[in-house]
Structure 1
Amino acid sequence: MSTNDPPMDVLVLGSGPGALAIAAALGQEKLRVGVLSINEPSDPWPFTYGIWGEEVDQLGLEGLLKHRWSKTVSYLGDGSTDQNSPKNNAIKHNRDYGLFDKNKLQKHWIDQCNEGAIKWFRGEAYNLEIDNITSSVKTIQGERIIAKLIIDATGYEPVFLNVPKNGEIAVQTCYGIVGEFSEPPVEKNQFVLMDYRSNHLSQEEKEEPPTFLYAMDMGNGKYFLEETSLGLAPPVKLETLKARLHARLKQRKIEIKKIDHEENGVFLPMNIPIPDLNQSILGFGGAAGMVHPASGYLVGALLRRAPSLAKELASAIKDSNKSPSEIAKQGWETLWPKELRRKQALYQFGLEKLMRFPESQLRYFFKSFFSLSNNQWYGFLTNTLTLNQLVAAMWTMFKKAPLNVKWGLMEMKGRELKLLWDFVKPSI
Structure 2
Amino acid sequence: MTDAGEVGAAGADVVVAGAGPAGRVLARECALRGLRTVLVAPRPDARWPATYGLWLDEAELLPPGAGYVVARARVLAGGERWLERAYAVLDNDSVRNALTHPDVVVRAGRVEEVTAPVIVDATGARSRGGVEQTAYGLRVPAPVAARVVRPGEVVFMDWRQPGTGPPTFLYAVPLPDGRVLLEETSLARRPGLPFAVLRERLLARLAEHGVDPGRTEAEVERVRIPLDAGASAGAGRVVRFGAAAGLVHPASGYGVADALRLAPAVAGAIATGGAVAARRVVWPARARAVHRLRRAGLRTLLTLDPDQTAEFFGLFFALPPHRQRAYLSGRDDLAGTAAAMAALFGAARWPLRRRMALRR
Question: Does the pair score TM above 0.5?
Answer: yes
Corresponding residue number in structure 2 for 1:285:
242
Distance in structure 1 (CA, Å) of the matches to 2:194 and 2:323: 33
Corresponding residue number in structure 2 for 1:149:
118
Q: Which moved more, 1:244-253 or 1:339-348?
A: 244-253
Corresponding residue number in structure 2 for 1:259:
217
Structure 1 portions without partners, runs of 5+: 78-87, 126-136, 140-144, 159-166, 317-326, 417-428
Structure 2 residue 136 is the aligned partner of structure 1 residue 179: no
Structure 2 portions without partners, runs of 5+: none
1:351-394 deviation per Cα after TM superposition (whole angstroms, max 9, x unaligned): 11101211011111111111211121023112356211111111
Distance in structure 2 (CA, Å) of the matches to 1:10 and 1:385: 26
Determine if contact 2:17/2:110 at 8 Å carries over to the other structure: no
Determine if contact 1:66/1:101 at 8 Å carries over to the other structure: yes
Distance change >3 Å, CA 384–CA 218, structure 1 → 2: same
Distance in structure 2 (CA, Å) of the matches to 1:193 and 1:252: 17
Q: Aligned-pair distance for 1:209?
A: 1.6
Determine if contact 2:130/2:226 at 8 Å carries over to the other structure: yes
Structure 2 residue 114 is the aligned partner of structure 1 residue 98: no
Q: SS of the counterpart of 2:196?
A: helix
Amino acid paired to 2:116:
A
Larger Rg: 1
Q: Aligned-pair distance for 1:178?
A: 1.6
Q: SS of the counterpart of 2:115?
A: strand
Q: 2:292 aligns with which of 345, 349, 358?
A: 345
Q: Aligned-pair distance for 1:252?
A: 2.8
Q: 1:33 aligns with which of 32, 37, 41?
A: 37
Q: Aligned-pair distance for 1:334?
A: 1.2
Q: Aligned-pair distance for 1:289?
A: 0.8
Distance in structure 1 (CA, Å) of the matches to 2:8 and 2:49: 38
Q: SS of the counterpart of 2:183?
A: strand
1:195-226 deviation per Cα after TM superposition (whole angstroms, max 9, x unaligned): 0112x31xxx2xx2210000135599843210
Corresponding residue number in structure 2 for 1:85:
none
Structure 2 residue 108 is the aligned partner of structure 1 residue 108: no
Determine if contact 1:339/1:387 at 8 Å carries over to the other structure: yes
Q: SS of the counterpart of 1:146?
A: coil
Determine if contact 2:41/2:110 at 8 Å carries over to the other structure: yes
The within-5 A match list for 1:46-57 is 46-57=49-60
Q: 2:185 aligns with which of 220, 224, 228?
A: 228
Q: 1:368 aligns with which of 303, 312, 315?
A: 315
Distance change >3 Å, CA 384–CA 4, structure 1 → 2: closer
Distance in structure 2 (CA, Å) of the matches to 1:74 and 1:4: 52
1:95-116 deviation per Cα after TM superposition (whole angstroms, max 9, x unaligned): 2101100001110111xx21xx
Distance change >3 Å, CA 5–CA 242, structure 1 → 2: closer
Corresponding residue number in structure 1 for 2:152:
189
Percent of aligned positions that are identical = 29
Distance in structure 2 (CA, Å) of the matches to 1:388 and 1:402: 24
TM-score normalised by L of structure 1: 0.77
Distance in structure 1 (CA, Å) of the matches to 2:138 and 2:38: 37
Structure 2 residue 108 is the aligned partner of structure 1 residue 122: yes
Distance in structure 2 (CA, Å) of the matches to 1:48 and 1:330: 32
Determine if contact 1:292/1:383 at 8 Å carries over to the other structure: no
Distance in structure 1 (CA, Å) of the matches to 2:83 and 2:6: 56
Q: Aligned-pair distance for 1:295?
A: 1.4
Q: 1:274 aligns with which of 231, 239, 252?
A: 231
Distance in structure 1 (CA, Å) of the matches to 2:283 and 2:40: 24
CA RMSD across the alignment:
2.3
Determine if contact 2:233/2:240 at 8 Å carries over to the other structure: no
Determine if contact 2:131/2:189 at 8 Å carries over to the other structure: yes
Corresponding residue number in structure 1 for 2:171:
214
Amino acid paired to 1:44:
R
